[in-house]
Amino acid sequence: MSVASFRWTTCRFGKRAGWLAIGLLAAIMLLAVIAAPNRALAHAALVTTDPADGAVLGQSPTQFSLTFSEPVSPLVLTLVRPDGTPVALTSFRLSDQTVEIGNPEVLGAGTHVLSWRVISADGHPVGGSVMFSIGAPSAAPVVSEAVDWGLRSAIWTSKVLLYIGLFLGVGGAFAIAWLAKGGRSGQRFAIAAMLCGLVAAPLSLGLQGLDALGAPLAHLAQPVVWQTGLGTSFGWTVLIALMALGLGLLSLVGPRADSKLFAFAGLVCVGVALAASGHASAAEPQWLTRPMVFLHGAGIAFWAGALAPLGLAVRRQPAEAGLFLHRFSRAIPYVVVGLAAAGIVLAVIQVQMPRALIDTAYGRLLLVKLALLIFLFTLAATNRWKLTAPAEAGETEVQRRLVRSIGVEVLIVLAILGVAAGWRFTPPPRALAIAAAQPASIHIHTLKAMADLSITPGHVGPVAASIVVMSGDFGPLDAKEVTLVLSKPDSGIEPIKRPATKPGDGTWRVDDLVIPVPGRWTARLDILVSDFEMVKIEAPIDIRP
Amino acid sequence: MNKYLLSAWALALGTGTAVAHITLETQEAAVGSTYKAILRVPHGCEGKPTTAVRVQIPEGVISVKPMPKPGWTLQIKKGKYEKSYQLYGEAVTSGARELDWSGGSLPDEFYDEFVFRGTLAADLPAGQTLYFPVVQECDGAAERWIEIPAAGQNEDALEYPAPGIKLLPKK
């Protein structure tokens, strides 16, 4: 085979590989869209449990149920007996937002703990426990709910390394292929970053599995941990990120002719990988958030990736770097506008209320990120509008300043990536607000009458109550009047009594209601069945702070 | 927020318990005897004048006759009893189930009485309390003196207890 035909073959092969890569990419994006759950709201919050937390039951329940603010899948369900021995609960049924768990054994007297760990659409596991007693409370068994800081640091580190691989590595490869005009400065840096990412990506999958199962770091080698990690939506992120890293590497070390194609596909994969999981991607409306996360991620990769190759090019070969600098500075304003717009849209969706910026850990991280961004934008703007033109003209002193400034920019970008990785552990205010808005609901059942009462939102402050009354045997009950009486004898508050109105949809409503303090209230319904007969039914209801 | 302030606020919102209830003057009677019921109405509904008083006749009180009252329209709602009663050797199966004085106006600051008589059937359980639920209607408001204590419940705990009499053994 002649040299020429060999080159032709590689060239053809490279082209084919390029088209293959694009086809594969389209298939993955399609899959990701199909696989994306329709009702993803992110970061599930526990709404009610049966038995209720702190309940004292007369006899062993046949089943438990946990109701969340959105559909979840259970990862680990454990019942801890009063003597501290755990029982794994394996039989459960999902019905909408409720997990119904079968109780395999008759429980003895004493305090039990139902410990749960579930995962929802954003791929972030959440856990908690419910304590209840049979007969009478005993000393509560010890359940470790402590945060595993070792695992958390490992997750955070792997996340930062993955970001470095995607943004600085794949982004760097894109800049080298598309902007550097044949220059190869920063190639080794980008390759090193991508290798970092290649190590971090699979590792983060295992760590995700550990977090999902609530297992310690020592269990990393167990296959079930990896299966669990892969089963979460983060599994998609890792798979697509691995493709992005592979494509980025291919664009730098593969056939030159197709380097642009590979680099572009890699950049697209970075956006898709980020859009596949995480708080922001799981937020509603999905048609808006997923494309916004894609734009944001691809934009960051374009900008952050170009910094190191650009800085190194200006330092080493100022003469050839002029064109690189020119192209970058021409494109960057548009990229930053798109990046910032997508970021603002996502921040508004996630934070909702300006107060949440200060009140929540998520909001505080966002403020830190914004402060770093302002610093970064100032530097970038100075570089773009003050230093670029003289540097392109060949002023060596300005070129040196530009290189230093770009170095600082890279450091700030790293700090921002570190902050962004911290969001992995903080539910966004949006999810917290969804949890807070959930109603407090009870079902009161007596021989004479029964009722479903829900107070929305189920926390202190102005609320509305909705009541459905039925006869004791589930028949219709056409009450003449219904009065809601809320009392909390232990707090010295006299009963709050409000007549309910009939909006005409078969329910009774009380609108002008304010609940002053949280805790266990007694809800009583006075149902006037006929002119001379009133049925009073009551049950405790828990009001959140 | 201040706890006392909260309590005061809640107190102001919650309806205070009624100071005086609608009661019967004679609070005990022997089964098998004739009983003259005098319903005492000490006030209106939340300051408004009383415009109607309705009494439900409990099962076992037969041959009921209300006393007319000047200024009030008197109505008797009749119905079937749950079973047949013997009165002077005759079977009685229906009679007054509800008495209804309406169309009057009894200001909140005045007191009045509403009277009826009836026979307490001989087979009513002596030792127990027999309740006469009363609905007091005012202009656009109503107070329902219809609460009957559950087994073991203290009558004082009720907000609007139905007036009642203690049944004594047959003389």
pLDDT tens profile A78-97: 888 877 777 888 888 888 78
**CB–CB of A270/A201 below 8 Å?**
no
Nearest CA in chain B to A497: B14
Q: Please, what is the Cα angle at A295 between A289 and A298, to 5 degrees?
A: 135
**CB–CB of A169/A304 below 8 Å?**
no
Whether the per-residue pLDDT at A491 is higher than 90: the answer is no
Specify the pLDDT at position A536.
Answer: 87
**Alpha-carbon distance B139 to B87, whole Å?**
40
Q: Is B24 on the interface with A (CB under 8 A)?
A: no
Residues in a beta bridge with A112: A132
Specify the pLDDT at position A291.
Answer: 93
What percentage of chain A exceeds 90 in pLDDT? 29
Confidence band of A141 (pLDDT split at 50, 70, 90): low
A532 contacts B56? CB cut-off 8 A: yes
Of the listed ranges A144-153, A472-481, B26-35, B141-150, the one predicted with least confidence: A144-153
**CB–CB of A65/A50 below 8 Å?**
yes
**Alpha-carbon distance B148 to B127, whole Å?**
16
**CB–CB of A215/A176 below 8 Å?**
no
Query: B99 or A400: which carries more pLDDT confidence?
Result: B99
What are the DSSP calls for A436-451, one per residue?
A: HTPPEEEEEE-SSEEE
Q: Is A216 on the interface with B (CB under 8 A)?
A: no
Q: Is B5 on the interface with A (CB under 8 A)?
A: no
**CB–CB of A447/A472 below 8 Å?**
yes
Confidence band of A67 (pLDDT split at 50, 70, 90): confident
Task: From residue B7, give the alpha-carbon distance in Å to each of A25, A67, A493, B10, B135.
Answer: 65, 34, 5, 5, 31
A116–chain B nearest CA distance, Å: 35
B10 contacts A496? CB cut-off 8 A: yes
Amino acid at position A385, single letter: W
Peptide bond into A285 cis (omega under 30): yes
B54 contacts A531? CB cut-off 8 A: yes
Q: Is A528 on the interface with B (CB under 8 A)?
A: yes
Which candidate, A132, A140, A137, A134, places its Cα nearest to that of A49? A132
Q: Is B13 on the interface with A (CB under 8 A)?
A: yes
Whether the per-residue pLDDT at A41 is higher than 70: the answer is no
Query: A504 or B60: which carries more pLDDT confidence?
Result: B60
Q: Is B3 on the interface with A (CB under 8 A)?
A: yes
Residue A314, helix vs strand vs coil = helix
Residue A468, helix vs strand vs coil = strand
Whether the per-residue pLDDT at B169 is higher than 80: the answer is yes
Q: Is B135 on the interface with A (CB under 8 A)?
A: yes
A534 contacts B144? CB cut-off 8 A: yes
Q: Is A410 on the interface with B (CB under 8 A)?
A: no
Q: Is B163 on the interface with A (CB under 8 A)?
A: no
Query: A224 or A374: which carries more pLDDT confidence?
Result: A374
Distance of CA A251 to the CA centre of its chain: 32
What are the DSSP calls for B61-120, one per residue?
A: EEEEEEPP-TTSEEEEEEEEEEEEEEETTEEEEEEEEEEEEEEEEE-TT--EEEEEEEEE
Provide, as residue numbers in chain A, all residues whose Cβ is less than 8 Å from the Cβ of B135. Answer: 531-532
Of the listed ranges A287-296, A324-333, A425-434, the one predicted with least confidence: A425-434
Class of domain B30-165: mainly beta
**Alpha-carbon distance B132 to B61, whole Å?**
10
Average pLDDT of A394-409? 87
Residues in a beta bridge with B78: B96
Q: Is A216 exposed, middle or buried (0-12, 13-18, 19+ CB in 10 A)?
A: exposed
Residue A34, helix vs strand vs coil = helix
CA atoms within 13 A on the CB side of A97: 17
- A residues 261-300 near B, CB within 8 Å? none
Query: A49 or B128: which carries more pLDDT confidence?
Result: B128
Provide, as residue numbers in chain B, all residues whose Cβ is less than 8 Å from the Cβ of A517. Answer: 6
Whether the per-residue pLDDT at A197 is higher than 80: the answer is yes
pLDDT digit string, tens, across residues A290-307: 999 999 999 999 999 999
Provide, as residue numbers in chain A, all residues whose Cβ is less than 8 Å from the Cβ of B146. Answer: 532-534
Nearest CA in chain A to B133: A532
A466–chain B nearest CA distance, Å: 20
Specify the pLDDT at position B124.
Answer: 93
Nearest CA in chain B to A515: B10
Specify the pLDDT at position A369.
Answer: 92
A494 contacts B1? CB cut-off 8 A: no
Q: What is the mean pLDDT of chain A?
A: 83
pTM above 0.90, yes or no: no
pLDDT digit string, tens, across residues A110-125: 888 888 888 877 677 7
**Alpha-carbon distance A202 to A207, whole Å?**
9
Which candidate, A344, A381, A341, places its Cα nearest to that of A366? A344
A477–chain B nearest CA distance, Å: 19
Average pLDDT of B57-80? 95
Specify the pLDDT at position B145.
Answer: 92
A493 contacts B10? CB cut-off 8 A: yes
Number of neighbours of residue A19 by Cβ within 10 angstroms? 12
B161–chain A nearest CA distance, Å: 11
Provide, as residue numbers in chain B, all residues whose Cβ is less than 8 Å from the Cβ of A495. Answer: 10, 14
Q: Is B140 on the interface with A (CB under 8 A)?
A: no
Provide, as residue numbers in chain A, all residues whose Cβ is less than 8 Å from the Cβ of B13. Answer: 494, 496-497
Specify the pLDDT at position A425.
Answer: 82
Average pLDDT of A54-76? 81
Q: Is A497 on the interface with B (CB under 8 A)?
A: yes
pLDDT digit string, tens, across residues A333-380: 999 999 999 999 999 988 888 888 888 888 899 999 999 999 999 998
pLDDT digit string, tens, across residues A251-271: 999 888 888 999 999 999 999
Average pLDDT of B87-107? 92
Average pLDDT of B61-75? 95
